[in-house]
């Protein structure tokens, strides 16, 4: 229990960082109704671009902005493959992700890892800051939970505003019913590309934050990102779906889902003393459980409804 409590702040901080990525996944998976697998590559792209630029001497804010723009470019590629070349969204994402492996290596000068020493560079967020702020070596506003939390709230507010505009509403309409959207004069292909760009921009921004937090960018850092993103979306919907009806609150639920995901994993590893090498297996089991909950819940309640209806009909027959 002690090891879990000690690791809890780090788990929450990582959950908030991955929560930004999960919000990007939510845009494609729920709003556009597209399964985009580009995120496994664009997440690493964001981390690689940010780390390389910081090491080269660029400002950390500029590095993150460029990482966001480059992430949008990866979404643009996937969108064009789908809308202009007629490649199905899943295959388009796989192709982009495959190509990004080489691109990410090229960004990091053909190195699998780009170190980012917190002692040598001024970062926005870092694992080291968790202890430094507690010890009083750094000001309170550099505490990772506060920093990433403000980032998340800011992103949610911007997205809430954007999807309330005419362009944002047309994007949501494209995902809800593309045929009806086209009948209303909406260019659905442009909206699909725009949605993929926004999504992968957020994913890359999340990767940029994680590279700073863990003090390095790695070629494998985005592997399994889509699974974590979908898990966060499902967890948020299962736990808060009936409470959070507002669009902004739905985005917040996704972020909280990512935090819960990482806290659960940390609890399993710490309290059950499981080897961290089994983390992928544990992740798969946790995701499978949460994915199965909506189906099992609907099956149970529908079964109860049938039984109640059958009981009423039986009583009516007896009464006659």
pLDDT score of 269: 78
When comparing pLDDT for 80 and 2, which is higher? 80
pLDDT, tens only, 81-115: 999 999 999 999 999 999 999 999 999 999 999 99
Average pLDDT of the residues in 175-183: 89
Q: Three-state secondary structure along the chain?
A: CHHHHHHHHHHHHHHHHHHHHHHHHHHHHHHCCCCCCCHHHHHHHHHHHHHHHHHCCCCHHHHHHHHHHHHHHHHHHHHHHHHCCCCCHHHHHHHHHHHHHHHHHHHCCCCCEEECCCCCCCCCCCHHHHHHHHHCCCCHHHCHHHHHHHHHHHHHHHHHHHCCCHHHHHHHHHHHCHHHHHHCCCCHHHHHHHHHHHHHHHHHHHHHHHHHHHCEEECCCCCCHHHHHHHHHHHHHHHHCCCCCCHHHHHHHHHHHHHHHHHHHHHHHHHCCCCHHHHHHHHHHHHHHHHHHHHHHHHHHHHHHHHHHHHHHHHHHHHC
pLDDT, tens only, 61-87: 999 999 999 999 999 999 999 999 999
Q: Does domain 2-310 have CATH number 3.40.50?
A: no
pLDDT, tens only, 114-138: 999 888 898 999 999 988 888 888 8
Bridge partners, residue 114, by sequence: 217
Provide, rounded to the nearest whole percent, the portion of the chain with pLDDT above 70. 93
Per-residue pLDDT at 265 exceeds 90:
no
pLDDT score of 130: 87
Q: What is the pTM of this model?
A: 0.90
pLDDT score of 92: 95
Average pLDDT of the residues in 3-12: 80
Per-residue pLDDT at 312 exceeds 70:
no
**Residue 46 confidence class, pLDDT cut points 50, 70, 90:** very high
pLDDT score of 94: 94
When comparing pLDDT for 188 and 313, which is higher? 188
Per-residue pLDDT at 256 exceeds 90:
yes
Tell me the pLDDT of the chain averaged across its residues.
Answer: 88
């Amino acid at each position: 229990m002690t090891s879990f409590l000690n690791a809890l702040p780090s788990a929450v901080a990582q959950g908030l960082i991955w929560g930004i990525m999960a919000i990007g996944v939510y845009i494609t998976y729920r709003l556009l109704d597209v399964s985009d697998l580009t995120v496994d590559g664009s997440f690493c792209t964001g981390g690689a671009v940010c780390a390389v630029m910081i090491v080269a001497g660029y400002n950390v804010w500029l590095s993150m902005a460029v990482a966001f723009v480059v992430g949008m470019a990866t979404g643009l590629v996937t969108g064009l493959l789908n809308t202009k070349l007629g490649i199905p969204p899943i295959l388009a994402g796989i192709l982009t992700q495959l190509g990004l492996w080489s691109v990410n290596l090229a960004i990091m000068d053909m190195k699998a890892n780009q170190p980012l020493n917190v002692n040598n560079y001024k970062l926005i967020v870092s694992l080291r800051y968790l202890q430094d702020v507690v010890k009083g070596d750094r000001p309170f506003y550099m505490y990772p939970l506060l920093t990433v939390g403000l980032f998340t709230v800011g992103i949610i507010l911007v997205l809430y505003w954007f999807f309330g505009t005419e362009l944002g509403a047309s994007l949501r309409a494209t995902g809800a019913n593309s045929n009806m959207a086209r009948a209303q004069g909406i260019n659905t292909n442009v909206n699909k590309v725009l949605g993929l760009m926004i999504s992968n921009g957020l994913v890359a921004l999340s990767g940029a934050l994680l590279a700073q937090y863990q003090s390095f960018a790695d070629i494998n850092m985005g592997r399994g990102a889509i699974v974590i993103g979908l898990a966060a979306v499902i967890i948020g919907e299962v736990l808060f779906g009936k409470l959070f009806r507002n669009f902004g609150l739905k985005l917040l639920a996704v972020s909280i889902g990512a935090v819960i995901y990482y806290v659960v994993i940390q609890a399993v590893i710490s309290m059950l003393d499981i080897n961290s090498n089994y983390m992928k297996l544990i992740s798969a089991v946790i995701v499978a459980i949460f994915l199965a909950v909506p189906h099992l819940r609907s099956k149970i309640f529908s079964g109860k409804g049938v039984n109640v209806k059958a009981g009423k009909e039986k009583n009516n027959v007896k009464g006659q």
